[in-house]
Amino acid sequence: MSKIVILGAGISGHVAAAHLRRKLSKEHDVVVVSPNGNYQWIPSNIWVGIGRMKSKQILFPLAPLYKKKGIGFKQAKAMSFFPEGDATEEKPYVLVEHVVGENKGKEEKVSYDYLINATGPKLNFEATEGLIPGQNKTYSVCTYTHADHAWEGLHALIGEMKKGKKVKILIGTGHAKATCQGAAFEYILNVEQELRKHKVRDMAEITWISNEYQLGDFGMDGMLLSYGSLTMKSNEMVEMIFEDREIKWILGAGVQKIEDGTAHYENLAGEKKSETYDFAMLIPSFSGHGFKAYDKTNTDITDKLFKGFMLVDADYTAKPYEEWSVQDWPETYQNPSYKNIFAPGIAFAPPHSISKPRKSPNGTEIFPAPPRTGMPSGITAKLVADNIIDSIQNGKESLAHKGSLGNMGAACIASAGYGLTSGSGVSITTFPIVPDYHKYPKTQGRQLGKTFGEIGLAGHWLKLALHYAFIYKAKMKPFWWLIPE
């Protein structure tokens, strides 16, 4: 009998738990530890943030589902890791703290045979002074509660615009190394369309602020896309969209401080500038959760498990940008020191950024951290689960399932406005996510036929279809496993 403990019930953790439970017989335990009692389909936060969906439409409680499916659930947060056990506990364990009910505040040693760390990112608002969701007129759409606040703020602003107030809206990244440009891009297009629907578009100046060197970088060094019968650079595509919608842009900007209605930033030229706003949605930087790890004698071994995020089978050797290769990226998400620990999704430490690193003359690094979107989070979780299943069933370690961001694609369908007949979507499919300049030297590291862009109503329908399909899948309804990650 084996016990598999999964930390986190986001896209990665939930996918891993579902596959493990479906394929392993009931003599094996699958236990999920997560502080939030709900599963949330994060991509649809965008629609919550423009008031087109209620947060209850994008979430559901985990406990009843897990009970029905035979998955153990502890509503608790992981605190520290003991991969060798300790003086009193022989088995490896994670120390967790319960966050609800009569056990609230109580610690528990949760032992395991296999551990999947799927805790995603810490939303590191503290890294930017004054960047607090719902305060200083800045908002976030990274969680459903943030998205609810964002809609409250936007709704109030629309009310003021209807009374004749001219406003400034700022959307983008709130830190020099923030990632998730795609979510901010989606939000700015949705907000723009929403203002048009409310007939107040002419009352707002809308500006994109980002740490990207060029528009359409998305933390992936941009891409060359097939666009209909044309070939187009992603910066040209985004520029076309922004110009069409009269959205201004500020690039190479590392936001350093927020005051009420003012964002202070340094740009790649080393200039210190500021931008005023009446409403801002700025994505924070993402970091690891600051977990600690200890060996059997209680000696700190955090650096064997973490480098901010969790260490896996990547090549972490520090080397210049010119020497980076797709082979640096992990394939099995297994910790090199403790072979029964895995970290799929956002929880693993990337070997380096994907975007070319850039510094201002003052030495400030301003460029996006690598994005890790939902599709690779699901795929890496499934392959980790499959390797654990094989290892249990074969009685010896098996790592046959492999997948690197260097041989995996990402389909990103950015909603560009809600509405069954008037909606829009920008669909960008990239293959591979990490460019392979050896395989595809003439097309900026990507395979052109599989890297393409499209704009139109079909994108909105597709995004809406994905919302329903993935919530169906997450609820583990009949034949859920036929829906791909």
Tell me: does residue 109 bind ligand FAD (CB under 6 A).
Answer: no
Distance in Å from the first CA to the final CA of the chain: 28
Q: Are 189 and 245 in contact (CB under 8 A)?
A: yes
Query: Which are the contacts of 374, defined by CB distance < 8 A and separation ≥ 6?
Result: 11, 42, 43
Q: How far is the CB of 460 from ligand FAD (least distance, A)?
A: 12
Using CB positions, name the residue nearest to ligand FAD: 10
Q: Which is nearer to ligand FAD, 216 or 345 (CB)?
A: 345
Nearest distance in Å: CB 79, ligand FAD: 7
Candidate segments 19-27, 36-44, 317-325, 357-365, binder of ligand FAD by CB under 6 A = 36-44
The candidate with the shortest Cα–Cα distance to 24, out of 391, 467, 339, is 391
Please tell me the distance from the alpha carbon of residue 141 to that of residue 132, in angstroms, as a whole number.
12
448, exposed or middle or buried, with CB in 10 Å at 0-12, 13-18, 19+?
middle
**CA separation (Å) from 93 to 86, 96, 296, 404?**
9, 9, 11, 28
Size of the site for ligand FAD (CB under 6 A): 34
Interactions with ligand FAD, residue window 275-334 (CB under 6 A) = 289
Task: Residue 2: name the closest of 248, 19, 21 by CA.
Answer: 21
- Of 209, 216, 171, which Cα lies nearest the Cα of 355? 216
* Cβ 438 to ligand FAD shortest distance, Å: 26
Q: Which of 69, 77, 91, 339 binds ligand FAD (CB under 6 A)?
A: 77
Q: How far is the CB of 268 from ligand FAD (least distance, A)?
A: 25
Under the criterion CB under 6 A, does residue 241 sit at the interface with ligand FAD?
no
CB-nearer residue toward ligand FAD: 46 or 170:
46
Stretch that binds ligand FAD, among 9-17, 228-236, 243-251, 330-338 (CB under 6 A): 9-17
Beta-carbon neighbour count of residue 461 at 10 Å?
14
Residues 201-240 that bind ligand FAD (CB under 6 A): none
CA distance 60 to 345: 21
Task: Please identify which residue in 195, 215, 375, 383 interacts with ligand FAD, judged by CB under 6 A.
Answer: 375
Positions that interact with ligand FAD (CB under 6 A): 7-13, 33-36, 42-43, 45-46, 77-78, 118-120, 141-142, 180, 183, 289, 345-347, 372-375, 377, 412
